[in-house]
Amino acid sequence: MLDIPWDISYNTSMNKLPFQTRLDILHMLCEDSSMRAISRIKDVSFNTVAKLLVDAGTACALFHDQAVRHVTTKKIQCDEIWAFCYAKQQHVPIAKKPVEGAGDVWTWTAIDAETKLIVSWLVGNRDGETAAVFINDLKTRLANRVQLTTDGHKAYLEAVETAFGADIDYAMLIKLYGQSDDPERRYSPAECIGIEKRPITGAPADEDISTSYVERHNLTTRMCIRRFTRLTNAFSKKLENHGHALALYYVFYNFVRIHKTLRMSPAMAAGVSQTLWSMDDIVDLIEQYEAGQRPTKRGPYTKRAPEISN
């Protein structure tokens, strides 16, 4: 039995997928399978997969919010990863029926550089308001003073100062990119021709000013969540489901997946969990949430401001 941070009791339901089917679907969602592919392979309806994703995302968001707290660490790295919902931003004005949240979607993540634990994450815009919510949430999850490194995004400056004040060693790692006229690099990032380490607050150690781990985790995210894969039609159609998929993935990544270098899960390395989870535990977590019907304290995404057109 998992040590779940809320008091509930089990109930049974006749209209519920078998445990093994739930387990298989959730595992496929965390291993780069699209929802329609899962519905075909497991011979269930698309709506069934979508409903399970919503339940899993809600339960996992609640669990992460309550379980990943009082984290003791030395180095935190933050970054944002881009995706889109319904249509890319430039196509939203001409879309026939754009949904709420259509366009660019940014996922902000904070990773412990030593244990690889995802301490905090948030889905929203790439603006100062979202940065403030994200950094404030990160602050509440840390148990001690840390060295924080971000990229050169200016929204971090005010957010970090407001949340931490002088109680942090903060630096920015600014990458300098060159232009390339090679048509073969159309879908590749620009070439990095240099970096600038810029201390902002406190006394950050120069050798620890890095965003390598969080950027590597961005690649892991794109490899594990189908809706982040570029140049496919598996992108998110609803902002809510985008958040649910991430909530499920982050619990899977933190508690279930064994990190190759650590040889244990990030949650175990960080002392957040004493045991290695399996996907069975996540199914168990969902069933306990369904029995308790407890609402989340912090949603997996922020509401997007309505688009204003002239």
Q: Could you list the mean pLDDT of each consecutive 10-residue stretch along the chain, which spans 310 residues?
A: 41 66 95 94 95 95 94 97 90 83 93 97 95 97 97 95 96 81 62 84 95 95 91 87 96 95 94 94 89 51 43
57 found inside a domain: yes
Closest among 65, 77, 236 to 141, alpha carbons compared: 65
For residue 2, the model assigns a pLDDT of: 45
Would you state the pLDDT for residue 175?
Answer: 81
pLDDT attached to residue 308? 41
Residue 102: predicted pLDDT:
86
In a domain, 231, yes or no: yes
Asked, for residue 105, whether it belongs to a domain, the answer is yes
CATH number for the domain harbouring residue 283: 3.30.420.10
C-alpha–C-alpha distance, residues 201 and 160, integer Å: 9
Q: Is residue 306 part of a domain?
A: no
Range of the domain at 205: 19-292
In a domain, 298, yes or no: no
**Are residues 66 and 2 in contact, defined by beta-carbon separation less than 8 angstroms?**
no
pLDDT for 14: 39
**159 neighbors 135 (Cβ within 8 angstroms):** yes
Q: How many domains does the chain have?
A: 1
- What is this structure's pTM? 0.85
Order of strands, edge to edge, in the sheet holding 75-85? 118-124, 103-112, 75-85, 147-150, 169-178, 191-201
Task: Decide the pairing of beta strands 147-150 and 191-201.
Answer: unpaired
Residues in the chain: 310
Note whether residue 2 is domain-resident.
no
| Assigned domain for 310 exists | no
Contact 197, 211 (CB under 8 A): no
- Whether 150 is in a domain gets the answer yes
